[in-house]
Amino acid sequence: MNLKNSALAVVMLGLIVIAYFSFKIYAIMLVPNTAFNSKEAYIFISTGATYSDVRSDIEPLLLDIEKFDALAKQKKYNINVKAGRYRIARDMTNNDIINSLRSQNLAVTVAFNNQHSLGLLAQRISNQVEADSLSLMGVFTDSLFLSSNAFSKESALAMYLPNSYEFFWNTSAKKIRSKLQKAYNIFWTSNRKQKAKAMGLTPVEVSILAAIVQEESKELTEQPRIAGVYMNRLKNNWALQADPTLKFAAYQTKAYKNKVIKRVLNKHKKIESPYNTYIHTGLPPGLIAMPDLSAIDAVLNFESHSYFYFAADPSRPGFHRFAKTLYAHNANARRYQNYLNRQGIRK
Domain range annotation of the chain: 31-36+56-102, 107-187, 190-342
* 333 has pLDDT over 50: yes
What integer pLDDT is reported at residue 145 of this predicted model?
A: 97
* 238 has pLDDT over 90: yes
Angle at 211 between CA 142 and CA 268, to 5 degrees: 100
What integer pLDDT is reported at residue 29 of this predicted model?
A: 55
Contact of 308 with 232, CB cutoff 8 Å: yes
What integer pLDDT is reported at residue 257 of this predicted model?
A: 83
* 328 has pLDDT over 70: yes
What are the strands, taking DSSP E only, across the chain?
A: 40-45, 84-89, 107-112, 163-168, 309-312, 320-323
What's the half-sphere exposure (Cβ side, CA atoms, 13 Å) at 58? Answer: 32
* pLDDT tens-digit map of 166-221: 999 999 999 999 999 999 999 999 999 999 999 999 999 999 999 999 999 999 99
Cα–Cα distance for residue pair 196/201, rounded to 1 Å: 5
What integer pLDDT is reported at residue 346 of this predicted model?
A: 81
* pLDDT tens-digit map of 22-66: 445 544 557 899 999 999 999 999 999 999 999 999 999 999 999
Taking the chain, what is the end-to-end CA distance rounded to the nearest angstrom? 109
Count of C-beta atoms within a 10 Å radius of residue 199: 18
| Percent of the chain residues past pLDDT 90, beyond the cut | 85
Cα–Cα distance for residue pair 57/76, rounded to 1 Å: 18
* pLDDT tens-digit map of 292-326: 999 999 999 999 999 999 999 999 999 999 999 99
* pLDDT tens-digit map of 76-87: 999 999 999 999
* pLDDT tens-digit map of 277-293: 999 999 999 999 999 99
